[in-house]
Structure 1
Amino acid sequence: MSKYKLTYMNFRARAEAARMLFFMKGVEFEDIIIEDGTWLDVKHTFPLGQIPVLEVDDVIITQTRPLTRYLGREFGYYGETNLEAAQIDSIMDVCDDIHVAAQPIYKYDGAGMAGEFDAKKYEVENAEVLKEYREVIVPGFLSQLQTLFLMNKNDDGYFVGKEITIADLYYFATFDYVEIYKKDMFAGFPKMAALYKKIMAHDKVAEYLKKTDYGNNPMDQYK
């Protein structure tokens, strides 16, 4: 059995799908948390100066999607065929684009999440980019994801096939993050809202959400 070590901060977002995979498969891992205000002190110790990072025995895997896909393959959540894996990849890539598009409004300076966060001031200072994100960017990406969902002709299942895959977990983790900025994120997309609720209601996902407590993120005040 391999030894796993996952390093990220004490909130959801980029490492969430990987953490969920460990829980759902029942595989133990060392959950290393970078404490608030310490990132700049340790950033240089990571190969690309980025997290999350997954260590498998003595091998380091960087970047969110590669490490999530690795765990998906290892734990059996990456579809049943190469074709399904390709469909899963398409969905994950769209979700990753959503994270990238959020960067202009998520002004994390690397100094940590210490200090007080003034949600009203943030809203005023970033009104234009927040408006574009809420009214244009998020609906645009949801339209793409809905297109992929419908293309897969899988109304009664998940994104790909009848069983939950890393595509669903990545989607769920992504929109758990999006909700910080847009509470009515699924407005106009009932199928996407239903899929999100279906994933959340999955027995292992629901258990995971009850048992974990990631979220010491000042941005949570913004919800």
Structure 2
Amino acid sequence: MRMLLADQGQSWKEEVVTKETWLQGPLKASCLFGQLPKLQDGDLTLYQSNAILRHLGRSFGLYGKDQREAALVDMVNDGVADLRNLCGHLIHHDCEEDKARYMRDLPEHLKPFETLLAQNQGGQAFIVGNQTPASSHLLPPTPTLQISFADYNLLDLLLTHQVLTPGCLDAFPLLSAYVARLSARPKLKAFLASPEHVNRPVFGSRKT
């Protein structure tokens, strides 16, 4: 969410909740599902990370150019969510045997994203189709690259895995180039280098 907002040139006010405040109870009780994050956008209050991402995607035109692309963006985002949940469970439940199995199977988890990139302009674009032709009677149609909210979610997950498992993308040249390409976007690059991002635990509230 922060990557998306920063890359789109948006400002936001963040309220960080300490563990002590959360354990006191009233704040948790006020949250619809008893958990954070929470987004307040005007008079709209949203919970659930992926619901917030989809809302931001719709708000900033980051949901594909048509219904077909929107469906593909949803598919990618759900795939990212599945892998994030699996990795998060292992981090929060310290079982070395399960972690070893996860590391062994990680290439199979990453392979679908490499495949999707390969199917989209040979991996030189974003994770989902990105051409919005600009027509002119003088010039031929020019494709305009358009990122989606799923790209930010996937980038965050891949950056996290590069911290947890350096070299995990070595066997995936398209994913490696994708991470480098997106991380070099000027506004996103500035955010990734900022203390706000650098000093944040790599996976939720746990320092791993």
Summarize the Cα distance change of 1:21–1:212 in structure 2 as closer, same or farther, 3 Å threshold: farther
**Equivalent residue number for residue 206 of structure 1:** 189
2:30 paired with 1:61: no
Q: Is the CA contact 2:3–2:191 (under 8 Å) kept in the aligned structure 1?
A: yes
Q: Distance in 2 between matches of 1:180 and 1:43?
A: 30
Q: 1:129 aligns with which of 95, 98, 104?
A: 98
Partner of 2:135: none
SS of the residue corresponding to residue 11 of structure 2 reads coil
Instruction: Give the 3 Å change call, closer, same or farther, for CA 216–71 of structure 1 in structure 2.
Output: closer
* 1:22 equivalent in alignment to 2:35: no
Is the 8 Å Cα contact of residues 98 and 141 (structure 1) preserved in structure 2?
Answer: yes
CA contact (8 A) 2:162 2:169 kept: no
Distance 1:219 1:30 in 2: 23
Distance 1:83 1:77, change over 3 A: same
Aligned to 1:79: 64
Aligned equivalent of 2:153? 170
| Rg (Cα) greater in structure | 2
Distance 1:85 1:30 in 2: 28
Matching of residue 88 in structure 1 with residue 61 in structure 2: no
Give, in angstroms, the shift of residue 72 of structure 1: 1.3
Which residue number corresponds to residue 150 of structure 1? 118
Structure 1: stretches of 5+ with no match in the other structure: 1-17, 109-124
> Identical aligned pairs, as a percentage?
24
Q: Does residue 138 of structure 2 align to residue 139 of structure 1?
A: no
Whole-angstrom distance in 2 between the partners of 1:164 and 1:216: 24
Deviations 1:14-65 (A, max 9, x none): xxxx112222233332211112443333322211012211122222111111
2:23 matched to 1:40?
A: yes
How many angstroms does 1:78 deviate by?
1.9
- Closer/same/farther in 2, CA of residues 216 and 148 from structure 1, 3 Å limit: closer
Q: Secondary structure at the match of 2:45?
A: strand
- The amino acid of 2:114's aligned partner reads Q
CA distance in 2, matches of 1:97, 1:57: 30
Q: Distance in 1 between matches of 2:168 and 2:29?
A: 36
Q: TM-score, normalised by structure 1?
A: 0.75
**Aligned Cα RMSD in Å?**
2.1
* Structure with the largest fraction of strand: 1
Of structures 1 and 2, the one with the larger relative CO (CA 8 A, separation 6+) is 1
CA shift for structure 1 position 155: 2.3
Q: Which moved more, 1:180-189 or 1:77-86?
A: 180-189
- Give the length in aligned residue pairs: 187
User: Which SS does the other structure have where 2:14 is aligned?
Assistant: strand
Letter in 2 for 1:85: A
Displacement of 1:180: 4.2
- Which residue does 1:184 correspond to in 2? 167
